[in-house]
Amino acid sequence: METLKKIIAAFGPSGREDAVREVLKEEIKQYVDEIKIDNMGNLICHKKGEGKRLMMAARMDEIGVIVTYIDDKGFVRFAAVGGVSPFNCINRGVRFENGLRGVISYETKNAAKDCGLDKMYIDIGAASREEAEEKVKIGDMAVFEGEFKTMGRRAASKTMDDRIGCYALLAAVKRTEKFGCDFYAVFTTQEELGMRGAKVAAVNVKPDMAIAIDVSGVGDTPESRIVDLKLGAGPSIKIKDGSYIIHPKSREFMFKCAKEAGIDYQVEAASFGGTDTGAIMLTGAGVAAATTSIPCRYIHSPQETVDLDDVENEIKFLKQMIESGIE
């Protein structure tokens, strides 16, 4: 749990994943043969093995905000980094890379529901532009605060999306006894801005097969949107989302390995969203690719909630795929 907390707490909005990468690099280095950081900041960890090349990818970046303007009274205007919902911003805490804290609120002459990010600001406790400019600059990024907590077998925090995927991949590598393939664990950058890191990482790795580890929204809360996925029933094998359709080879491989691992799993066909898989599969001459997701409630809020048994099953699933290798 301490490792997970460390990975989640690390500052890492899209394009500034350095701190997350440092944590993961330290954790994984003794379990792999070679580590590279490419020009996009992807962390590429190679465990040499026989046979075909399997790449697993989890993404390091998180959504956040970026400073666009500071007014005369010291209030900071901002834009989104990734899919930031205005509704989830109001009266939330944010933290800048230098440790500075702030609170997001909105222009109260408008109704809160009518406020887009352009009607919001960050209050950093400054009384003037000069004072604010001593603390932040245009272009600085901040992430949402949301402390890690457990509620029985459930855990909630900011940035489960997708640090829980990073954690699962790391844990699977640590537990793997015999690598059944030439294996790459890749921790990618800038997914929230359109899968930018994964695309470049896959060009470098040239995998025969790639599996992305992500989170997926569920349909198990009151009056929720209809999604056939719930917390506590295992990780998903994702057949499709807005960015890809599973490759037949990956499909066969994943169902086989899920059965061999003896885990609970769910089959998911999402009508929206995208994952690194969508970018990876279109690199080189094409890659057999797929996603497995950890079900998650309240995605892109400071209280992203997962079930720890799902996480454990995901780790077992990944380990099984790494050990069995691909045809």
Nearest-CA neighbor of 273 among 296, 252, 257? 296
CB of 300 to Co ion, least distance (A): 6
Token look-up 């962390």 returns 43
CB of 151 to Co ion, least distance (A): 22
Amino acid found at 96: F
In whole angstroms, what is the distance from residue 99 CA to residue 49 CA?
42
Q: Based on CB atoms, which residue is closest to Co ion, 64 or 102?
A: 64
Q: Based on CB atoms, which residue is closest to Co ion, 176 or 216?
A: 216
Specify the DSSP element, H or E, that contains 258: helix 248-261
Q: Which residue is nearest to Co ion (CB)?
A: 161
What 8-state DSSP symbol labels residue 297? Answer: B
Q: 20 pairs with which residues across the strands? A: none
Q: How many CB atoms lie within 10 A of CB 40?
A: 18
Ramachandran area for residue 194 (φ above 0: left; ψ -120 to 50: alpha; else beta): left
Token look-up 């690719």 returns 289
Catalytic status, residue 34:
no
Token look-up 């707490």 returns 9
Q: Based on CB atoms, which residue is closest to Co ion, 168 or 257?
A: 168
CB of 234 to Co ion, least distance (A): 21
Amino acid found at 323: E
Amino acid found at 28: I
Who's near 75: CB < 8 A, 6+ residues apart?
121, 122, 123, 132
Q: Which of 17, 27, 191, 314 is catalytic?
A: 191
CB of 289 to Co ion, least distance (A): 18
Q: Based on CB atoms, which residue is closest to Co ion, 304 or 323?
A: 304
CB of 19 to Co ion, least distance (A): 18
Amino acid found at 53: R
Bond before 162 cis per omega within 30 degrees: yes
> Which residues would be at the binding site for Co ion (CB under 5 A)?
161
Q: Based on CB atoms, which residue is closest to Co ion, 47 or 163?
A: 163
CB of 191 to Co ion, least distance (A): 7
Q: Based on CB atoms, which residue is closest to Co ion, 27 or 161?
A: 161
Q: Give catalytic residue positions.
A: 191
